[in-house]
Amino acid sequence: MSEIVSSYCIWIFIVPALTAMFILLFGNKKFLREWVALIGMIITLIISIVILIETQSKVLIEFGSHLRIDSLSSLFSFIISVIGLMVIIYSFKYVEREKEKGIISDKKVKSFYWQVMLFISTMLFATTTNNIIILWVIIEATTLASAILVAFYWNKDSVEAGYKYLMLLTVGISFALFGCVLLYSGAASSLIKGEPLQISVISEAAKAGIIPSSIILLAVAFLIVGFGTKAGIAPFHAWLPDAHAEAPTPVSALLSGVMIKVGVYALIRTVTMFYTSFSIISVFIVILGIFTMVVGVFMMFIQEDLKRFLAYSSVSQMGYIIMGLGLSGVVPAMSGVVKDGSYISMYGSLFHIVNHSIIKSLLFLCVGAIVFKTGIRRINELGGLGRKMPITAFCFFIGGLAISGVPMLNGFMSKFTLFLAGVKVPGMVWTTVVAIICSILTLASFVHVSYRIFMGPISSELKSLNISEVPASMWLMMFVLVLFCFILGVSPQVIYPILNNATNVVLSIISKGGL
């Protein structure tokens, strides 16, 4: 593919960063911060759409290829921009309400907006950079930018969550720094063309077998621990339910919808290039994925807090994504060529990343609507909300069905692809069996929870409250996401060209001899 120099590579993350700075400096008026955030996000979305279209046939580079956007990066930056815009629009009423209730001060509202914009900016930067050390720096920066948002309410629970979030992620990510430095030095120690800091150059070096094989396993182990912590892979997921539950709900939607995917992106960029060096790597990743999936799904059943319930559902769904990521390397690891289910498992994995972003943001926004009206998160204190909040109930049901993989909805399409992948890859049928069982358990838990929240008599805690549907700016965002669920569920071919290109990028990283 031809590489062309394009300044879009800079603008995509500079625009939200500038917006954040503007809000920080001048955001004391309500309309200034809200409208500036909205306009900034719309511009970012437009840039990401342009990039998405451009990268289907070319690769965009800038600063001597230190910033590099191919179709894999543009897929992630597109997801981040779309979900980011939804979350910003949703936040208007949500944050305003929190301020009216006296939970947060006006100063905090301002810090909410600029920190969310900064958070989005760091995530976009992470998908754009081609420099391995900067990749680490910026993934750590996503943690730092969101840390104060996690501890936003500054009460007992949220400072505890904030402390755990910062501590676990910083320690976890330090492992990844060791891994990144090892990769850099492995590539730097030999004579190769280009600068060894660049991930694309490192993957060329890995393909050519230049990186000494003695350090590969250690580096990969460090990278999996480091970026796996960010991606919420069990057993490094301990920060995830705390942070997701205690952050303000729009931030939870961002954390769960996109931030953990950035961890997966970093894994794809740094680990997949070694699949053909050691066959154990891909199998290990498959096992981690299955473990994550099972842990997540069982923890869902014992949750009393609605947001923690969704957080564990995220852990479980990350398991599917990681499983697909590992499956794509099983055959190439043995034969050195990409065939027999490599394509389909990578495709399924990327498709599930897109779908999980949509569905999990939708579910968190629905829970946000419930918290907005009732202020209650405990499942056993809620009940009978369906008649009072019909749109929220409908959206939550669709989200629950989609995430469990019910046909006609998008979750089915990606999960079915992953099931097929398990069958196609030799010796991996058991993964399909486990994945199907986990899907059924997910469906069971979601039906159970939806029933308890929305059906039956109105619970005693809610009787005194005057509950009605949430404002249009909130339910409209949920509705748009439901529409995405249906569109991708009924005609998944609309996204095929984009995913196909992104999959081919990953497969060209994996394969030794080209496609």
Partner 1 sequence: MEGAGIISTLSLSIVVTTIAVIEFRNLKYSAYAYCLQALLMCSIFIVFASKGNPHIYLWALFAFITKVVIIPFLLLRYIKKTTIREIKPPIGYLPSIIISCIIMIIFYNITHVNANFIAPNVEATKEPFRTILAVSFTIFVLGLYCILIRRDAIKTVHGLCILENGVHLSLVSLAPTLPETAIVGVVTDVVIAVYLTLYVIYGVYREFGTTDTYQLKNLRW
Contacts of 152 (CB under 8 A, 6+ apart): 104, 108, 112, 158, 247, 248, 251
Q: Residue 145 or residue 507: which is nearer to partner 1 going by CB? A: 145
Closest to 479 in 3D by CA, of 86, 93, 88, 98: 86
Strand 58-62, strand 2-5: pairing: parallel
Q: Is residue 379 at the binding interface for partner 1, with CB under 8 A as the rule? A: no
Q: Is residue 155 at the binding interface for partner 1, with CB under 8 A as the rule? A: yes
Which span (49-57, 174-182, 423-431, 448-456) binds partner 1, by CB under 8 A? 174-182
Q: In the window 233-262, what residues touch partner 1 (CB under 8 A)?
A: 241-242, 245-246
CB of 318 to partner 1, least distance (A): 18
474 vs 495: CA distance, rounded Å: 26
Q: Residue 165 or residue 351: which is nearer to partner 1 going by CB? A: 165
Q: Which of 24, 148, 283, 443 binds partner 1 (CB under 8 A)?
A: 148
Report yes or no: 235 and 306 within 8 Å, Cβ to Cβ.
Answer: no
At 69 the three-state DSSP class reads strand
Q: Is residue 218 at the binding interface for partner 1, with CB under 8 A as the rule? A: yes
Q: List the structure tokens of 58.
A: 């070319």
Q: Is residue 472 at the binding interface for partner 1, with CB under 8 A as the rule? A: no
Closest to 81 in 3D by CA, of 50, 115, 36, 35: 50
Q: Residue 312 or residue 484: which is nearer to partner 1 going by CB? A: 312
Residues 59-98 as x/- pattern, contact with partner 1 by CB under 8 A: ----------------------------------------
Q: Is residue 144 at the binding interface for partner 1, with CB under 8 A as the rule? A: yes
152 vs 461: CA distance, rounded Å: 26
Q: Which of 106, 193, 214, 493 binds partner 1 (CB under 8 A)?
A: 214
Q: Which of 134, 149, 258, 382 binds partner 1 (CB under 8 A)?
A: 134
CB of 163 to partner 1, least distance (A): 5
Q: Which of 65, 303, 313, 504 binds partner 1 (CB under 8 A)?
A: 303
Q: Is residue 210 at the binding interface for partner 1, with CB under 8 A as the rule? A: no
- Sheet of 2-5: strand order equals 2-5, 58-62, 67-69
Q: Is residue 3 at the binding interface for partner 1, with CB under 8 A as the rule? A: no
Helix (H) or strand (E) holding 422: helix 410-424
Q: Residue 178 or residue 416: which is nearer to partner 1 going by CB? A: 178
**Longest alpha-carbon distance in the chain:** 73
Q: Is residue 166 at the binding interface for partner 1, with CB under 8 A as the rule? A: yes
Q: Is residue 162 at the binding interface for partner 1, with CB under 8 A as the rule? A: yes
Q: What is the 3-state secondary structure (H, E, C) of 90-154?
A: HHHHHHHHHHHCCCCCHHHHHHHHHHHHHHHHHHHHHHHECEHHHHHHHHHHHHHHHHHHHCCCC
CB of 345 to partner 1, least distance (A): 31
At 514 the three-state DSSP class reads coil
Report yes or no: 76 and 129 within 8 Å, Cβ to Cβ.
Answer: no
Q: Is residue 154 at the binding interface for partner 1, with CB under 8 A as the rule? A: yes
Closest to 284 in 3D by CA, of 214, 233, 352: 233
CA distances from residue 281 to 182, 247, 317, 330, 435 in whole angstroms, order as listed:
17, 34, 21, 9, 20
Q: Is residue 14 at the binding interface for partner 1, with CB under 8 A as the rule? A: no
Which span (172-180, 248-256, 345-353, 497-505) binds partner 1, by CB under 8 A? 172-180
Q: Is residue 204 at the binding interface for partner 1, with CB under 8 A as the rule? A: no
Number of shown-chain residues binding partner 1 (CB under 8 A):
50
Which span (144-152, 263-271, 444-452, 487-495) binds partner 1, by CB under 8 A? 144-152
- The alpha carbons of the chain give a radius of gyration, in whole angstroms, of 22
Q: What is the 3-state secondary structure (H, E, C) of 145-179?
A: HHHHHHCCCCCHHHHHHHHHHHHHHHHHHHHHHHH
Q: Is residue 212 at the binding interface for partner 1, with CB under 8 A as the rule? A: yes
Q: Which of 46, 57, 157, 339 binds partner 1 (CB under 8 A)?
A: 157
Q: Is residue 140 at the binding interface for partner 1, with CB under 8 A as the rule? A: yes
Q: Is residue 136 at the binding interface for partner 1, with CB under 8 A as the rule? A: yes
Q: Residue 167 or residue 494: which is nearer to partner 1 going by CB? A: 167
Which span (126-134, 376-384, 440-448, 477-485) binds partner 1, by CB under 8 A? 126-134
Report yes or no: 326 and 434 within 8 Å, Cβ to Cβ.
Answer: no
416 vs 82: CA distance, rounded Å: 25
356 vs 315: CA distance, rounded Å: 11
Q: Is residue 17 at the binding interface for partner 1, with CB under 8 A as the rule? A: no
Q: Residue 3 or residue 157: which is nearer to partner 1 going by CB? A: 157
Q: Is residue 482 at the binding interface for partner 1, with CB under 8 A as the rule? A: no
Q: Is residue 156 at the binding interface for partner 1, with CB under 8 A as the rule? A: yes
79 vs 441: CA distance, rounded Å: 28
Q: Is residue 298 at the binding interface for partner 1, with CB under 8 A as the rule? A: no
Q: Residue numbers of the site for partner 1 (CB under 8 A)?
A: 131, 133-134, 136-137, 140-141, 143-144, 147-148, 151, 154-157, 159-164, 166-167, 170-171, 174, 177-178, 181-182, 184-186, 188-189, 197, 211-212, 214-215, 218, 241-242, 245-246, 299, 302-303, 308
